[in-house]
Structure 1
Amino acid sequence: MRARQPRRPLLLRALLAGTVLAAIPVVMPAGAVELTDAVRSALQTNPDVGIVAENKRAVEYELEQAEGGYYPTIDFSASSGYELTKDNSTRNREKAGGDSDHVGMPVYDASVSLVQPLFDGFATDADVSRQESRVVSAARRVRETSEFVGLDAIEAYLESLRQRELVAIAEDNVRSHEQTLELVEAKAAGGAATVADIQQAQSRLAAAESTLTEAEARLRDADATYVRIIGESPGELYRPQPPLWSLPKSLDGAVEIALRNNPTIAVTRADVDTAREEYKTSKSAFYPTVDLEMTTDTARNQEAARGTDYGASALLRLRYNFYRGGQDINRRQELIHRIAEARQRHNRAMRLTEEEMRLAWNALTAARDRLRAQRREVEANDRVRQTYRQQFDLGGRNLLELLDAENEYFLARGNLVSSEFTELFSVYRILATGGILLAALDVPQLGAARSELDPTPPDQIDLERQLTAPPSEGGVGQGGEGDPTMMPGTGDGLPAPSVYTEPDGGASLDPNAPLDPSAPLDPSAPLDPNAPLDPSAPLDPSARNDDGFPEIAPIRRVSEETREANAAAGPVPNGGGEEDRSAHFTSLGGQSAPPVSDLNDDSARDPVGTWGMGAPGTPSKAPRAQLHVDSPSNGASASEAVRSADAPAARPDRSVSNDGAGRRAPAVPYGFFSD
């Protein structure tokens, strides 16, 4: 087990003040919850895991039932009582001088029979093989569900933590508006401000308080989801350090790992084996059956004859069906197509897995690219608002300009926090799609996820270290006093995870060399948006970009003609019908931050409402591929299982969400961290 890096508490006061504090390792207080602890708790208590675990145990007993077909059947029967007989023999007895025309006497009988199947057309062999495949499929289903529940737990943990930080930002925004109102009232007392200025400041303060109330409501919603998935109330949460060492070095390597280790693909592969073995069972109908039947019995006073009778027999019995209306032939044809159907489900799972890995990889790359600009934006907005406040004191700026600057800073900080959590979640999403999430977190699989029949048990998953990046010396969760990657509004102990540079001043990068997270980012470095890139260039798995991260794929730059055409087409309308001046505030739900042109609009003050992750009912731009498929591991045969549905089974309870007004709206797969 890898040594766990020391965690550092998130100092919300540092986030509120926008200051850079030293990351000081501390001992976690009582009630603190680490991410790995939350994942373990979810695996132990989540009913979704319990359902598939109990199903696996039930299928194991079905295997034992099938193995019983090799053994003999032994039956014992006995009876005792009084029997009254009147038939021709008793009537003849009366004619011959007997007492009466009927006979009554106590009777009893007992028998033991043994039937040993000698040949059943290989039906038992095929049925045992089918049940073994179902056991493997059920065990892999436990592993699949564990990976997804683990990712759900991570999502709930990060979302609850993110909402706490957004609440802290909203509280800071309220305090800033209170200070502005006090400043305006002081100036009004001296005749330097008007009643309208006071009313404007009061209006903005009320809007900030309303935004805070909404943020607190979303925090309670996030905590409710946390309790549902993890099974306990969230304590003091900490930003985790993701296992960057386990990330693949390239998209091709990530796809290769996913196609090899993804548990859904493993489940569908076992389902193909199950369908194949069930087809073998249908062949037994074309063979005879041979049984050895042995019987012994004893009877007393049977058929009105006094005395005890004994008997024993040993027989070989052959049965052979010649015609059953074509049922057996049609059954074989059905199962041939069931095998083909299972193979197509396997192919679909592979395609969905590859798509999901590419989406997750693109989401991580986009988040890292977005973070660089957002950090510079937060710094710039912080300087602007401080300058505007000084100029407002001197009469060089009016109140609206100061309030606009405060609002811009508020929105930028909220977007930065959301993007940071998007990047964090994207790392775990890649690992889960690759089927190595729990292994990377050093969280053991449940015992039900293992089977002696599985040729690739979860404990033997190769993390493909030859395809993974070396561990970073710093990385997410590192940082310290004077760390140039620490930006205002990021909190304590979390540097910019995407700020990496090549060592030796830009010399050729050794893909096996550790990356330097402490190298400063030059915000003044010009970016050429029209730099030509060759989209057809082959992807080098070892290539790194200027920040030291893997190159995902070449990106075609927008030509100048396209830019001019877009400019001529006019502004892009947003929800308020105005020019969207904050395209860089793109939210994780596929929406943008509202413009700041109309500051009387409540939506313009709400970085955790209309644009933030956590807006209930907001569909994601790129919904996460649903990788679940039907499996015969639910106790039904393969044909019954694949006949039950035409599409993959969705993840539990992800189909709808509450939009906050009592309506049911489409939920965002994997919450609000899809990109």
Structure 2
Amino acid sequence: MQDSVEKAVTSNPELGARFQDFQSSLEGQNVAQGGLLPEVNAEGWIGKEWRGSTSLSKSHDWTRKGYTLQLRQLIFDGNSTLNTVRQLGLEKVSTYYDLVSTIDSVAMEAAAAHIDVQRYREMELLARENYQMHLNTLGQVRERSESGVGRGVDLEQAMGRQALAQSNLMTESGNLNDVLQRYRRIVGQPAPAVLVDAPTFDEKLPSNPENFDNSLLANPSILSKQALLQAADKGVDVARGNFSPTLEFRASTGRDRNERPNELTGRHHTAQASNVQLVASYNLYRGGADSARVRQTKAQSYAARDVRDYTCRNVQQELSIAWNNIVRLREQIPFLRDHELATSKVRVAYMQQFQIGQRSLLDLLDTENELFDARRALRNAEYDLKLAELRWLTFSHQLLPALGLQQPHNQDVPEEAEDLIFPQEALQVCMEPVPDTANLQPVMVEYRNNMEPPVLRQVSAN
């Protein structure tokens, strides 16, 4: 499984797209930071100029050239530019955690595809064995019918069950073909003929958790939404900056030369100008746009808070459902295993009894179907348990470490991530105690005499 997940994480194009989104947000912040640095502009010109005649000179034209050099430095703008940098920095953090969340999601999909390939290969094998059992039974019934011992209706019934077994085999083969294509899409290459079983996650899972707080605080989807919320709050500060004056430092110099010599002196005219200024500007009226922008950004902040809260609730739900399934399947599998073992023994006994006429064909066929269903139920439960464990680890941001793999892009964590503050009251809103799974404990049935109603009591499965 580690190989499947590692190949998916390193080659899946969805992760490449997310990484480029992160790089884009990084450069977007760099663009905004440019507004805090000096701006230097140079301008030069050269061209023909014509001047009409005057009382002192005739009309003439000449080649004129010059240049200007200007320095501008923002001093104050109500911290609007600085808050824009901070806002984009937090949006960068959100994009980073979106990347991490996608890595977890792709890793989970790869692990699930790995398990499902194993599952449906085994389901196809069980269906093939079931088909072969029905084929053998049909052969025995046909021999009995041809020898005059069996009944014609038994042959029809055996042929019908054999046709159903064939249909089941085709269904499982189709399911296997589907999941093989899913594996190839996620991992990027065909599934190998032999897949190694998933490792044991018992040591990676909590034994008796009281809550899922640590899992919620580590979940990258929640962290991404928290970063977006704090970025939206900075957006409000950016909008408020429009109510402040702007102060700039400007310095410039330039030269403009007239290459036509003076008719009296024969010398060129050259104009040199330099200046240093503090320029203040303040908007007096903009049609209410600035006030509307503040209201707009506040609404965006409220929306970001709601998105964070329902994301937290969704993750809490997914963790609870995964934990419910883990507890249920752990309790259920021993009984499914007992059922399969008992049904297997019954099938052998029924076959022997059928051959000596003590069991009907219907008894034998029903037992074969029950054994097929018991085997499928046990194998599906075992694979479902692995998927539930993987799902819980995924939403706890522990899947890759549990598989012994390094988290990609750990070195790319933005420094602004240290500014994330997840309020305790927000955690309390979505946090719920670990689900009560007492009703998942097995029940023992104690039968009474004289057909009295049975007594049900909880027992532990050993």
State whether TM-score is above 0.5: yes
Please say if residues 103 and 304 of structure 1, whose CA atoms lie closer than 8 Å, have aligned partners that are also in contact.
no
| 1:71 equivalent in structure 2 | 37
Offset at 1:218? 1.0
Q: Which amino acid is the alignment partner of residue 290 of structure 2?
A: D
Residue matched to 1:131:
88
Alpha-carbon distance, 1:195 to partner: 4.0
Q: CA deviation at 1:251?
A: 4.6
Computing the radius of gyration from Cα coordinates, the structure with the larger value is: 2
1:372 and 2:286 correspond: no
Show the 5 A alignment for 1:473-488: none
Q: Does 1:91 align with 2:48?
A: no
Amino acid in structure 1 at the alignment position of 2:199: Q
> Which amino acid counterpart does residue 243 of structure 1 have in structure 2?
F
Aligned to 1:210: 167
Secondary structure at the residue paired with 1:176? helix
Q: CA deviation at 1:44?
A: 1.2
The C-alpha deviation readout for 1:114-166, integer Å capped at 9, x for no partner, is 11112222122211211221121111111111111111111111111110000
Q: Which residue of 2 aligns with 1:383?
A: 345
Q: Is 1:324 aligned to 2:304, yes or no?
A: no
Kindly provide the amino acid, as one letter, of the partner of residue 177 in structure 1: H
- CA distance, structure 1, for counterparts of residue 87 and residue 9 of structure 2: 29
Task: Map 1:513-662; keep pairs closer than 5 Å.
Answer: 526-527=444-445, 546-547=460-461
1:427 to 2:389 alignment: yes
Q: Find the counterpart in structure 1 of residue 253 from structure 2.
A: 296
Cα displacement string for residues 221-254 of structure 1 (whole angstroms, at most 9, x for unaligned residues): 010111111111111113212321111223533x
Asked if 1:146 is matched to 2:109, the reply is no
Distance (Å, rounded) in 1 between the aligned partners of 2:260 and 2:252: 21
The match for 2:380 among 418, 423, 432 is 418
Structure 2 residue identity aligned to 1:438:
L
The one-letter code of the counterpart of 1:358 is S
Q: Distance in 1 between matches of 2:331 and 2:363?
A: 30
- Aligned equivalents of 2:245 and 2:239: distance in 1? 13
For residues 358 and 274 of structure 2, what CA distance do their matches in structure 1 show?
117
1:444 aligned residue (387, 397, 406)? 406
Q: Which runs of 4+ in 1 moved over 6 A?
A: 302-305
Post-superposition Cα deviations, 1:346-370, rounded to whole Å, max 9, x if no partner, equal 2212211211111111122222233
Corresponding residue for residue 140 of structure 2: 183
Are 1:259 and 2:216 matched, yes or no? yes
Q: Which amino acid aligns with 2:179?
A: A
Structure 2 CA distance for aligned equivalents of residues 453 and 340 of structure 1? 22
C-alpha deviation, 1:423, in angstroms:
0.9
Residue 204 (structure 1) shift: 2.4
- Offset at 1:297? 0.9
Report the equivalent of 1:574. none
Structure 2 residue 207 is the aligned partner of structure 1 residue 244? no
1:586-611: per-residue Cα shift (whole Å, max 9, x none)? xxxxxxxxxxxxxxxxxxxxxxxxxx
In 2, distance between residues paired with 1:44 and 1:234?
A: 16
Structure 1 match to 2:150:
193
**Paired-residue identity, %:** 27
Q: What are the within-5 Å matches in structure 2 for residues 386-405 of structure 1?
A: 386-405=348-367
- Cα offset, 1:181, TM superposition: 2.2
Q: 1:159 to 1:52 in 2, by over 3 A?
A: same
Residue 277 of structure 1: CA displacement?
1.3
Residues 7 and 187, structure 2, Cα contact 8 Å, conserved in 1: yes
Answer whether contact 1:242 1:427 (CA < 8 A) is retained. no
Matched, 1:358 2:316: no
User: Could you give the per-residue CA deviations for residues 618-669 of structure 1, whole angstroms, max 9, x where no partner exists?
Assistant: xxxxxxxxxxxxxxxxxxxxxxxxxxxxxxxxxxxxxxxxxxxxxxxxxxxx
Residue range with higher mean Cα deviation, 419-428 or 277-286: 277-286
C-alpha displacement of 1:197 = 3.0
How far apart are residue 283 of structure 1 and its match? 2.2
In structure 2, the residue matched to 1:54 is 20
The counterpart of 2:239, out of the listed 282, 285, 300, is 282
Query: Residue 40 in 1 paired to residue 6 in 2?
Result: yes
Q: Under a length normalisation based on structure 2, what TM-score does the superposition of the two structures give?
A: 0.86
Kept in 2, the 8 Å contact 1:41–1:230? The answer is yes
Structure 1 portions without partners, runs of 5+? 1-34, 458-522, 534-544, 549-675
> Which residue identity lines up with residue 460 of structure 2 in the other structure?
D
Going from structure 1 to structure 2, the CA distance change for 1:404 and 1:303 (only over 3 Å counts) comes to: farther
Q: Deviations over 1:31-65 (max 9, x none)?
A: xxxx1111111111222222221111111111111
Contact 1:121–1:285 under 8 Å retained in 2: yes
**SS at 1:324 equivalent:** coil
Contact 1:139 1:450 in 2 (8 A): yes
| 1:567-594 deviation per Cα after TM superposition (whole angstroms, max 9, x unaligned) | xxxxxxxxxxxxxxxxxxxxxxxxxxxx
CA contact (8 A) 2:331 2:461 kept: no
Distance 1:55 1:171, change over 3 A: same
Distance 1:527 1:46 in 2: 52
1:527 shift after superposition: 4.5
| C-alpha distance in 2 between matches for 1:247 and 1:256 | 14
Per-residue CA deviation, residues 417-453 of structure 1 (Å, 9 max, x unaligned), is 1111111111111111222222222222221763333
Structure 1 residue 325: Cα displacement: 1.9
Q: CA RMSD in A?
A: 2.5
Give how far 1:340 is off: 2.2
Q: What is residue 341 of structure 1 aligned with on the other side?
A: 303
Provide the rounded CA distance (Å) in 2 between the counterparts of 1:85 and 1:357.
83
Inter-CA distance 239–84: structure 2 relative to 1 (3 Å threshold): same
Task: Please give the per-residue CA displacement for 1:505-564, whole angstroms capped at 9, x wherever unaligned.
Answer: xxxxxxxxxxxxxxxxxx9x944695578xxxxxxxxxxx8358xxxxxxxxxxxxxxxx
In structure 2, the CA distance between the partners of 1:422 and 1:245, relative to structure 1 (3 Å rule), is same
Deviation, structure 1 residue 302: 8.1
Range 204-213 or range 405-414, more displaced: 204-213
Deviation, 1:329, is: 2.0
For 2:402 and 2:55, how far apart are their aligned partners in 1? 92
In structure 2, what residue type is equivalent to 1:367? Answer: L
Per the alignment, do residues 199 and 303 of structure 1 end up closer, same or farther by CA in structure 2, a change over 3 Å counting?
Answer: farther
Corresponding residue of 1:170 = 127
CA 332–303 in structure 1, closer or farther in 2 if over 3 Å, else same: farther
Preserved contact between residue 245 and residue 281 of structure 2 (Cα < 8 Å)? yes
Normalised TM-score (structure 1): 0.60
1:85 touches 1:303 (CA, 8 Å); kept in 2?
A: no
**Structure 2 CA distance, aligned partners of 1:165 and 1:303?**
95
Q: Which has the higher strand share?
A: 2
CA distance in 1, matches of 2:316, 2:187: 28
For residues 70 and 410 of structure 1, do their structure 2 counterparts lie closer, same or farther at Cα, with a shift above 3 Å needed? same
Contact kept in structure 2, 1:104 and 1:304, CA below 8 Å: no
